[in-house]
Amino acid sequence: MKKLSLILAFVLVFACTVLAACNDETDTSSTADSSAVVESSVAESAADTSSEADASSEADVSSEAASSEAESSEVVEDSSEAESSEAESSEVVDESSEPEISNAPVGDGANLVAGKTYTVTGCGTGYINESGQWPSKYDGNLTDGVANDELVFGLDNKWFGFYNNDSAAANLVNAPGGVGSVTFDLGKKTDISGVRVHLGNHHGNGVPSPKAVTVYISDNGSDFTEYGTLEIKNSEDAANAVLAYWSEVGGSASAKFVKIEFQLNGVFAFLDEVEVIGA
């Protein structure tokens, strides 16, 4: 009986020991599971944080890229506007480099050819024919400062006449082919602002205004470029009306030689004064 009690006591102790061991394993497993859950949660949280960081980084990069594109677009637009402005400026510089000289006013400068001599085409003088049926002398001084208000014919007058007649002697013709000119040497290259010519017109006596009067300028006396044309007035509607008038052309230029060319509208063209106005 005593042995049986010992055996039962031993079994009871063994059972308690086993049960305690089982409880320890369960606690350890539970603790491990809890630890695993915590670690998993931490890992997921870290992953979420990493994802958010990546997303934030991507957003920042995208934002920076968008900002860069916007800045680049602004630079391109600014460049385009600058190029457009330069083009408009160039057009303005291109328009200001080709002025309508004939519309420009003549300046208030001095007359650069007052009292100067000049060169005439053809016979080299005005029309002078002191013999024959109608003796005449139209060789008035073009730079003496005197502009006549009326036309006077014959030997006693102060007008200068350009003349062309295919049957006339060469010593009478100073507008061969119907075109005559007078050229002034200013002595050196000089700034000018305009040219004025005093013209005469008397259709009833065969002295109409010329068809055209054109001014040319040159630096060497050989190569001329057009400066402008003068306005022409006429009295064809009143055959006996006399016109004595100034015609001018203005514009800024620089030249050593000034040539004024007259295209005749008949046998004669009359003028009596020429002015080249300084700048």
For residue 171, give the DSSP letter: G
Q: What is the pLDDT at residue 86?
A: 45
CA distances, 137 to each of 63, 140, 161, 162, 271 (Å): 95, 8, 8, 11, 13
Is residue 139 exposed (0-12), middle (13-18) or buried (19+ Cβ within 10 Å)?
Answer: middle
In the chain, % of residues over pLDDT 70: 59
pLDDT tens digits for 181-219?
A: 999 999 999 999 999 999 998 877 788 899 999 999 999
CB 256 within 8 A of CB 188: yes
Q: Per-domain residue ranges for the chain?
A: 1-98, 119-278
**Cα 204 to Cα 160, 237, 241, 255, distances in angstroms:** 18, 10, 8, 39
Domain 119-278 has CATH 1.10.10.60: no
Model pLDDT for residues 123-165, shown as the tens digit of each residue: 999 999 988 777 899 999 999 999 988 777 777 778 999 999 9
Cα 97 → chain centroid: 6
Give the C-alpha separation, 75 to 62, whole Å: 20
Please name the residue ranges forming H helices in 97-185. Answer: none
Contact 203, 239 (CB under 8 A): yes
Q: Note whether 138 and 160 are within 8 A (CB).
A: yes
